[in-house]
Amino acid sequence: MNEIYLRITHLHNMNQNSETVITGFGGSLRKGSFSRKVLEKAAVLMPEGTRLEIADISMIPLFNADHVSDPDSSVVEFKKRISETDGFLIVTPEYNYSVPGFLKNVIDWASVPNNVFAKKIGAVMSSSTGMMGGARAQYHLRQSFVFLDARVINRPEVIINFVDKKVNEKGEFSDENAEKFMRELLKNLVSEVRDQETIRK
Ligand SMILES: Cc1cc2nc3c(=O)[nH]c(=O)nc-3n(C[C@H](O)[C@H](O)[C@H](O)COP(=O)(O)O)c2cc1C
């Protein structure tokens, strides 16, 4: 079966079956969070025939290895979403040159005893009020996904610096470049997800 045949079969199946669904999470727990606004903007910029569902991670407790075999229902629900949807998108701010604790906490829960990120395709964006746009946090996050064996899309890198000057309270963007790179990364994410599904069929 050649590649073109596989793709046609896949497109046919996709039309018959369901749209591509990506789980989005991250942001920060802060009311008025800029990274949350970026995540919500990503939902609007998703390619046609796809959907971003934003997961609520605010109720996930602090990681405790004593409870990995009987985790809180919020953890079970989150892991189920990651497993059952086609890919993931994280938008992270940067705290003290790294990944905010609550976000790393969620990833730790999702990694044991079964790692739901294994072989999963995902994308990462960062935003911060600083000059580096959360780049350091983004690279630390990518490092964790190397260990978790997820496939995180490399390009384009979406790093939104001075986010408070580029995104207003209503979540409107005044930076066309940020929007353009976001759109491109989401397109690459979906295309990679679809390619992998094609190969599996
Ligand atoms: C505890 C803390 C540490 C921070 N550390 C950094 C940092 O290392 N680099 C940076 O660019 N911004 C840093 N900031 C600023 C955040 O980027 C900024 O507050 C951002 O808006 C937080 O994301 P949010 O709007 O989604 O809540 C820090 C903010 C907090 C509260």
> 29 alpha carbon to ligand 1 midpoint, in Å?
12
Span from the CA of 95 to the centroid of ligand 1 (angstroms): 5
Q: Whose CA is nearest to atom 6 of ligand 1?
A: 95
Sorted by where each starts, the structural domains of the chain and their CATH numbers stand as 20-62+69-200 (3.40.50.360)
Per-residue pLDDT of the chain (201 residues; tens, 9 = 90+): 333 333 333 333 444 457 999 999 997 999 999 999 999 999 999 999 999 999 999 999 999 999 999 999 999 999 999 999 999 999 999 999 999 999 999 999 999 999 999 999 999 999 999 999 999 999 999 999 999 999 999 999 999 999 999 999 999 999 999 999 999 999 999 999 999 888 777
What was the pLDDT predicted at 154?
Answer: 97
Q: State in Å: Cα 108 to ligand 1 middle.
A: 21
What pLDDT, on the 0 to 100 scale, is given for residue 200?
Answer: 73
What CA–CA distance (Å, rounded) separates 170 from 122? 27
CA of 92 from ligand 1 middle (Å) equals 10
C-alpha span between 75 and 59 (Å, rounded): 9
Q: How far apart are CA 87 and CA 53, in angstroms?
A: 11
User: What is the C-alpha to C-alpha distance for residues 192 and 169, in angstroms, rounded to an integer?
Assistant: 33
Could you tell me the pTM of the whole model?
Answer: 0.91
Q: Report the sign of the C-alpha dihedral through residues 61, 70, 88, 94, in that order.
A: positive
What lines the ligand 1 site, CB under 6 Å? 27-28, 30, 33-36, 93-97, 128-130, 132, 134
Beta-carbon contacts of 177 under 8 Å, excluding residues fewer than 6 positions away, are none
> Best of 95, 138, 166, 167 to mutate for ligand 1, by most ligand atoms within 8 A of CB?
95
